[in-house]
């Protein structure tokens, strides 16, 4: 069942700067850029707003972009309220090759002909993946083994046994079919690895596939349309700093 959260009051470009209190706690919706880690964004917020207590409500891989929820100060206690919510993504599945990381972080390998893959075949495979299922976390992930992220083992060429976890794919549909690229939309539960889903679909289509683009557009009732990009975040911090400087005069 979809977990509903009440609409909150995320910081916006036109927020009342005088009322913002990052130590007391604010909710920030950030449009994470490509090749930034989620913790890169956390550190940027700490630096810009001079607040130490900052946490995010769900990691985005470096090769993914889109909605990242951050809580500061006392509002970090609310992180679980958001992290367990349903997620919505838009992505691109590239047919005819695989990668070790299941996305574009590592080189293509195992290239195969994809010319026989039809729109109907992709629709059928997508349909079969809707619902509750077990999913094994990929080696290139932040899931931990003995306190260390799996990706640290993977980058040393090691592969470890991982326990499958139950996830739910509420919706999985095609937005555009232009082989080798299949643009899709997926709505899923917490803990779902879209890379693993794409890899499995590629296997079932017989040509292999990897996730070449991923953008998170929604978490619960909070949307990417409400998010600040990093330029907006910087602008907000500079305006707030000027206001605080004037108040001290």
- Domain shared by 91 and 194, yes or no: yes
| Of 9, 35, 61, 229, catalytic | 61
Nearest CA to 141 out of 160, 121, 114 is that of 160
Tell whether 174 is covered by a domain. Answer: yes
- Domain shared by 232 and 167, yes or no: no
Tell whether 128 is covered by a domain. Answer: yes
- Domain shared by 205 and 243, yes or no: no
> Cα-flanking dihedrals φ and ψ of residue 113, to 5°?
-70, 135
Tell whether 2 is covered by a domain. Answer: no
Residues forming beta bridges with residue 175, ordered by sequence position: none
- Domain shared by 198 and 164, yes or no: yes
- Domain shared by 96 and 196, yes or no: yes
Distance between first and last Cα of the chain: 54
Tell whether 157 is covered by a domain. Answer: yes
User: Locate tokens 């989620």: which residue?
Assistant: 38
Residue 61 catalytic? yes
- Domain shared by 37 and 95, yes or no: no
Structural domain of residue 97, as residue ranges? Answer: 87-219
List pLDDT tens digits, range 58-104.
889 899 999 999 999 999 999 999 999 999 999 999 999 999 999 99
List pLDDT tens digits, range 6-64.
335 899 988 888 889 999 999 999 999 999 999 999 999 999 999 999 999 988 989 99
Percent over 70 (pLDDT), the chain: 96
- Domain shared by 205 and 94, yes or no: yes
- Domain shared by 46 and 169, yes or no: no
Return the CATH number at 157.
Answer: 3.30.2350.10
Spatial distance between the Cα atoms of 208 and 84, rounded to a whole number of angstroms: 31
- Domain shared by 106 and 207, yes or no: yes
- Domain shared by 205 and 230, yes or no: no
Q: Say whether pTM exceeds 0.85.
A: yes
The radius of gyration computed from the CA coordinates of the chain, to the nearest angstrom, equals 20
- Domain shared by 53 and 99, yes or no: no
Spatial distance between the Cα atoms of 43 and 16, rounded to a whole number of angstroms: 23
- Domain shared by 105 and 173, yes or no: yes
Structural domains counted in the chain: 2
Cβ partners under 8 Å of residue 248, min gap 6 = none
Residues forming beta bridges with residue 70, ordered by sequence position: 28, 56
pLDDT of residue 8: 56
């Amino acid at each position: 069942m979809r977990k509903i959260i009440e609409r909150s009051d995320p910081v916006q470009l036109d927020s009342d700067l005088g009322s913002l209190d990052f130590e007391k706690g604010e909710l920030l919706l950030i449009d994470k850029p490509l090749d930034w880690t989620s913790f890169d964004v956390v550190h940027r917020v700490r630096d810009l707003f001079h607040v130490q207590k900052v946490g995010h409500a769900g990691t985005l891989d470096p090769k993914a972009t889109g909605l990242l929820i951050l809580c500061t100060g006392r509002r970090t206690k609310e992180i679980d309220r958001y992290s367990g919510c349903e997620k919505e993504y838009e992505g691109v599945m590239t047919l005819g090759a695989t990668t070790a990381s299941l996305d574009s972080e590592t080189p293509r390998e195992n290239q195969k002909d994809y010319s026989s893959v039809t729109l109907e075949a992709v629709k059928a495979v997508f349909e079969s993946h809707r619902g509750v299922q077990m999913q094994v976390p990929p080696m290139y992930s932040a899931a931990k083994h003995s306190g260390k992220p799996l990706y640290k083992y993977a980058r040393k060429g090691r592969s470890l046994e991982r326990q499958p976890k139950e996830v739910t794919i509420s919706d999985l549909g095609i937005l555009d079919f232009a082989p080798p690229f299949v643009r899709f939309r997926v709505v899923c539960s917490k803990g779902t690895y879209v890379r693993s889903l794409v890899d499995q679909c590629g296997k079932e289509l017989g040509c292999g596939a990897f996730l070449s683009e991923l953008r998170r557009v929604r978490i619960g009732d909070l949307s990417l349309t409400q998010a600040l990009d990093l330029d907006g975040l910087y602008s907000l911090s500079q305006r707030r700093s000027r206001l605080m400087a004037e108040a001290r005069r």
